[in-house]
Amino acid sequence: MSTKATIAHGPTFHLYHEIGDDRYVYLEVEGVPFQASYDRVVVPVPVHVWEHARQFSGVDLSLADATDDELRAEVEAYVDERIARYEAATNDRERAFASVIGSIGYGPADAPREEQVAHGMEGRLRRRAYEREVRAAIEQLITTDHSAA
């Protein structure tokens, strides 16, 4: 089973994230020479690959500007839907399936609502903090990039 989440691809390249690892974007390019040393790799990226791939954002920063209230509303809506799916299940198999969906981020679907909301908020707050770090790193690169000068 592949753990690659494709951002862009073509016959000789693949730009992707590894599922669960959004700290890096990976680029595979076939048929090009490269230079590698202990702590450095140089891969020439064909211009047509670069022009195509750069159109796609490599990271989702949609939570970076979200307020706590917005995050809580999103989490509460998801938890309410989750509980409703669990309660609407007509047999043990459906209930088990409904409980598993979202359990990593929210806990079991039969847990108290506020417990699920608390778990969900922990995850969303961590994600927002990460997105803010990424955005700050991007802004730092922009302010220190003197290549256009």
% residues pLDDT > 70 (the chain): 97
pTM score: 0.75
Query: Which of the residue ranges 7-11, 107-111, 134-138 would you say has the lowest mean pLDDT?
Result: 7-11
**Using N-to-C axis directions, what is the helix angle for 113-144 and 68-88, rounded to 10°?**
140
Range 37-42 average pLDDT? 88
The conformational region for residue 70 under phi > 0 = left, psi -120 to 50 = alpha, else beta, is alpha
Is 78 a residue whose pLDDT tops 70?
Answer: yes
Residue spans of the domains in the chain: they are 4-53, 68-144
Strand-by-strand arrangement of the 21-29 sheet: 4-10, 13-18, 21-29
Of the CA atoms within 13 Å of residue 77, those in its CB half-sphere come to 6
